[in-house]
Structure 1
Amino acid sequence: MGESPSTILIVDDEERIRRILRMYLEKAGYVADEADDGSAALSLVEQIDYDLVILDLMLPEMDGIELCRRLRERQQVPIVIVSARGEQADRLRGFEAGADDYVVKPFSPHELMYRIRAILQRARSQQEKAGESRAAPAAIAYSDLLIEPLAHRVTVGGNVVELARKEFDLLHFLALHPNETFSREDLLRHVWNDASVQRDARTVDTHVRKIRKKLFQRSPAAAGLIATVWGWGYQLCATDQNVQNG
């Protein structure tokens, strides 16, 4: 099953602007809600966990800057200000209030959709990293191979193996999912965070080869833990595992 579509709140007192934004958002696959003032927006935010808020500055009763501050106090939802106020001072006030981006009216709907997509992808990546960090054990051991994520250290038989950052990240990811096969494209997404998979898949092969070589210098058995699944990708083969939580 695919991911649920992102839900976006449009806050603008101009019905025409809300209608245009909603049309483009829904065409892009998002779910859109509308609010015509700050009070209505705050009420909706209390009920629904939005993935992003599009916010005008010139609102009745409560201006957009104040609403931005109040939203930021409640949660870390990404906020994009879309306003006719284009002076540098206005932009700075928006960013100081907690906005993630600032778009000046009149705007290109296509450019706005691009900005929204980039912000949502960045927010999703940060959430995934935070979740992995919370769930990551303090150490993972397979036979004489020890991986310590917090110290960013790998040892074999007590001897340190010097790995480059992406080499460590790749080995760590495979170790967190023993006996599970990942394609090169999967590994590019998870380890390199390359959602578009435009990077050459041979990058994975090169890193695996370097990891094996460095592990082999300490222990052929440790190097042999990383198995090639022909026609598919790689996995870390393990019959025993010792996980030490922090």
Structure 2
Amino acid sequence: MRLLLVEDDDHVAAALSAILARHGFQVTHARSGEEALQALLPAGAPPFGVVLLDLGLPDQDGYEVCGKIRKRTSTPVIMVTARADVRSRIHGLNMGADDYVTKPYDTGELLARIHAVARRTGASEEAAATGTGSPDVVRIGPVSIELPTRRVSVDGVDVPLTRKEFDLLALLAQRPGVVFRREQIISEVWRTSWEGTGRTLEVHVASLRSKLRMPALIETVRGVGYRLVTPAAP
């Protein structure tokens, strides 16, 4: 995913860019509001998945930049700032921000919020393009996943899952065929950073394969992560 980081402090930007790059993001750094707006607009350039926007910029206030971004593009914006008061958060969301994260922040939480915003935006765009709306039930072959009730069935037979097993399956099912990085899964399902949690993920994947009785449904992409494979029609 391409990510635009709008941050005037080069030291902060370098440290955060390194972390984001380790988690698979392609980071473009803008040091001012004007640089950010120019980076978003070039014709033919691949779109950014998310904008991380600091509010204390040298040329204009971050709220103003957010408003201009929202007028020109639907790219999701996460404000990342030290302004922690409720009034600032409300103002940021009213200006069009999709999320608001205060400094200092936990890296795992920031990653989870980035993925969550990008996922919501992608699902909304896909629904608008297909005219299907926001589905409450996801069907992958014989597997039915009811999101509101957290109910999973295979060929009409309920399969009881733990909370994390359901969250993992629902995440993968949102983009069948797309590889989810292990770090991304950990940050979204467990709301924590990657270190030391790899074995937990492997155990949950193995449990899902066993309970669903479909070992090939979740494919391991060696060295990267996992993806959900749509079963071939009989």
For normalisation by structure 2, the TM-score amounts to 0.59
Q: Report the equivalent of 1:200.
A: 152
Using the TM superposition, give the Cα deviation of residue 46 of structure 1 relative to its aligned residue in structure 2, in angstroms: 0.6
Using the TM superposition, give the Cα deviation of residue 71 of structure 1 relative to its aligned residue in structure 2, in angstroms: 0.1
Using the TM superposition, give the Cα deviation of residue 233 of structure 1 relative to its aligned residue in structure 2, in angstroms: 5.9
Matched position secondary structure for 1:22: helix
Matched position secondary structure for 2:41: helix
Using the TM superposition, give the Cα deviation of residue 17 of structure 1 relative to its aligned residue in structure 2, in angstroms: 1.6
Q: Report the equivalent of 1:98.
A: 96
Q: Is the radius of gyration larger for structure 1 or structure 2?
A: 1
Using the TM superposition, give the Cα deviation of residue 193 of structure 1 relative to its aligned residue in structure 2, in angstroms: 6.9
Matched position secondary structure for 2:68: helix
Alignment counterpart, residue 19 of structure 2, candidates 21, 24, 38: 24
Identity of aligned residues (%): 28
CA offset digits 1:164-210 (Å, max 9, x no partner): x85xx86xxxxxxxxxxx5335x64xxx579xxx96342x5249xxx
For normalisation by structure 1, the TM-score amounts to 0.57
Pairwise CA RMSD of aligned residues? 3.0
Cα 1:64–1:76 change in 2 (3 A) is same
Q: Report the equivalent of 1:8.
A: 3
| Runs of 4+ deviating beyond 2 Å | 182-185, 198-202, 204-207, 231-235
The one-letter code matched in structure 1 to 2:89 is R
Cα 1:84–1:193 change in 2 (3 A) is same
> Following the alignment from structure 1 to structure 2, what is the Cα–Cα distance between the partners of residues 128 and 20?
33
* Structure 2: stretches of 5+ with no match in the other structure: 159-215, 217-229
> Following the alignment from structure 2 to structure 1, what is the Cα–Cα distance between the partners of residues 30 and 232?
49
Q: Report the equivalent of 1:63.
A: 61
Q: Report the equivalent of 1:39.
A: 34
Aligned ranges 1:102-181 → 2 under 5 Å: 102-133=100-131
* Structure 1: stretches of 5+ with no match in the other structure: 1-5, 137-149, 151-164, 171-181, 208-230, 238-246
Alignment counterpart, residue 82 of structure 1, candidates 80, 83, 93: 80
CA offset digits 1:66-114 (Å, max 9, x no partner): 0000000001111000001111111111111100111111111111001
> Following the alignment from structure 2 to structure 1, what is the Cα–Cα distance between the partners of residues 89 and 31?
22
